[in-house]
Chain A
Amino acid sequence: MKFLKLFLVVFLVMLPISAFGKKAKTIEELAAMYDSSSCKECHAEIYGQWEKSHHARSLMGVLGGLFMTPLAMKGKTPFSPDSPDKATLDTFPCFKCHLPQAVTSADDAFAVDYAKALLKQDKARLGKLSITCIVCHNTKAIIHKKSEGHPEANVLYGSKDVAKHEDAKFKTVKKSSIMDHAIMCGQCHGMGPNLEFENPVQCATLYGSYQHNYLSKGGQKSCQECHMKKVDGVADHLLAPNWNDLEATKKILQEAISLDVDMVGYDWLLKSKDHKPMVVVNTRINQNAGHRIPDG
């Protein structure tokens, strides 16, 4: 019996968050499981940057639009259920990237609660769900699950080991193999159509563009090198562009994209004695991102 208990304890400690305890059945339960507010105390700078980022509002990134609403409405999309009561996790293939913790840690009851909240446009409740610190630093931090195991419940993964991490829940930080690699972002930033669903879904394809059309031309920077440059000593978690901040985004776009224009006016001799007054405008646009602009 004692042995069994010990075995159970060891077994539980090694379980990933996803399998830890029960699956979330409501928005509040899932939000609580991935609540990152404890990080604020010690990582205030990063937390402040993240709060303004698209990752912190991954269900309504641009001007608060709840873009999954049609999926909850009968007949509006191939995925829509007849009524919100019939919603399942399969109703929302978007969770794969917009809310991966729903895939690993929620069940169909959550999908029903979520569908109802969408129909009510309940932004206060839905706003509790996002790509929190824990999603990137735990759920999405290991992709070699056969080689390295699933993310453990009380461990965070970062760019280095921290044997004693002071957080109340996450007592250690382990080095992730991918934290500084493009594939960390590529997990969600898309390669093309997602064909594992019963109908195809295609949203972000930017990682495909990076892989096949940036590396192929000799580009070698990672997403992090361009998007997470150190600000006041920490890796910038705003991950701009922030499309709700037009002024800051204008600056980024102006730095990234250049337009060069030449013009000439002359009388073009189309055929003998037939001069056509013509102006020619030649434009050349260059951009210095690591992928197509725009994507998707």
Chain B
Amino acid sequence: MVLEVTAKTADGKEVYNKERHYHPQATDCRSNKMLYGAQFKTQYIRDTSLQPLETKAESFEIMLPDGVRTVDVTVSLRYEIWKPDHKIEITSISKMVSLDR
């Protein structure tokens, strides 16, 4: 599961891109390298997955470059199943945010 936040200027230039990855992560305990594959995985070292009956809250602070006062922000959540191209976009929310009133 990947949450991706991007901000683009009016002319489409990307000024911000951050991802958060939500899934349990394992090693084989013989090194600190994270591994896939049931035949190697031995122990989770970290678990960022979405837990039941719990809210996963994040806050992203986007510092805008000089001269940029308006950006198009997109937040999308997708499930990556296997190969990177075998994935499902669950939702995507876009909004124009301006610092000027």
Asked if A and B are interacting partners, one says: yes
A284–B57 CB distance below 8 A: yes
Contact A71 B39 (CB under 8 A): yes
Count of residues in B whose CB is under 8 Å from the partner chain = 55
Contact code string B55-66 (vs A, CB < 8 Å = 1, else 0): 111111111100
The interface bits of chain B over 39-66 (1 if a CB of A lies within 8 angstroms of the residue's CB, else 0) are 1111110010111111111111111100
Interface residue A13 (Cβ < 8 Å from any Cβ of B): no
Give the residues in chain B near A77, CB-CB below 8 Å. Answer: 37, 39-40
A289, CB-defined interface residue at 8 Å: yes
Q: Which residue of A lies closest to B65 (CB)?
A: A277
CB neighbours of A292 from chain B (8 A)? 24, 47, 49-52
**Taking chain A's interface residues, is the majority helix, strand, or loop, or is none over half, making it mixed?**
mixed
Q: B-facing mask of A260-278, CB < 8 A → 1, else 0?
A: 0101111100000000111
Given contacts A63-B82, A261-B75, A292-B49, whether A285 and B64 have CB atoms under 8 Å apart is no
Instruction: Report yes or no: A202 in contact with B73, Cβ–Cβ below 8 A.
Output: no
- Interface check A9, CB cutoff 8 A: no
**In the bound complex, CA of A289 to CA of B88 (Å):** 18
Instruction: Give CA–CA (A40, B99) in the complex, Å.
Output: 64
What chain A residues lie within 8 Å of B97 (beta carbons)?
263-265, 279
DSSP majority for the B interface?
Answer: strand
Chain B residues contacting A200 (CB-CB under 8 Å) are 28-29, 41-43
Interface residues of A in 45-84 (CB under 8 A from B): 62-63, 65, 70-71, 77-79
Among residues of A, the one whose C-beta sits closest to the C-beta of B79 is A253
* Contact indicator A201/B39 (Cβ below 8 Å): yes
Q: Are B49 and A202 in contact (CB under 8 A)?
A: no
Closest to B87 in A: A246
Q: Is B31 an interface residue (CB 8 A)?
A: no
A1 at the interface (CB under 8 A from B): no
The answer to whether A285 and B86 touch (CB under 8 A), given A278-B62, A279-B97, A292-B24, is no
Once bound together, how far apart are the Cα atoms of A53 and B31, in whole Å?
Answer: 36
Q: What A residues does B75 contact at CB under 8 A?
A: 259, 261, 281, 283
The answer to whether the Cβ of A280 comes within 8 Å of any Cβ in the partner chain is: yes
A295 touches B39 (CB 8 A): no
What distance in Å separates the Cβ of A182 from its nearest Cβ neighbour in chain B?
A: 13
A209 cross-chain contacts in B, Cβ below 8 A: 51-52
Q: Tell whether A213 is near chain B: CB-to-CB under 8 Å.
A: yes
Most chain-B Cβ atoms within 10 A of its Cβ — which of A70, A78, A79, A281?
A: A281
Contact A293 B63 (CB under 8 A): no
The CA of A277 and the CA of B91, in the complex, are separated in Å by 28
Beta-carbon nearest neighbor of B78 in chain A: A253
Does A100 have its Cβ within 8 Å of any Cβ on chain B? no
Q: Which of A200, A213, A217 has the most CB of B within 10 A?
A: A200
Minimum distance in angstroms from A58 CB to a CB of chain B: 13
Give chain B residues whose Cβ lies under 8 Å from the Cβ of A147: none
Additional A-B contact list (8), CB under 8 Å, known A202-B42, A265-B69, A279-B7: A200-B29, A209-B51, A217-B52, A243-B82, A253-B90, A278-B63, A283-B60, A288-B52
14 contacts between A and B (CB under 8 A): A77-B39, A202-B43, A214-B53, A250-B90, A253-B79, A253-B90, A264-B97, A277-B69, A282-B57, A285-B50, A286-B56, A287-B52, A292-B52, A294-B49
Pairs of residues from A and B, 8 with the lowest C-beta to C-beta distance, nearest first: A203-B38, A202-B41, A292-B49, A277-B64, A217-B53, A200-B42, A265-B97, A279-B62
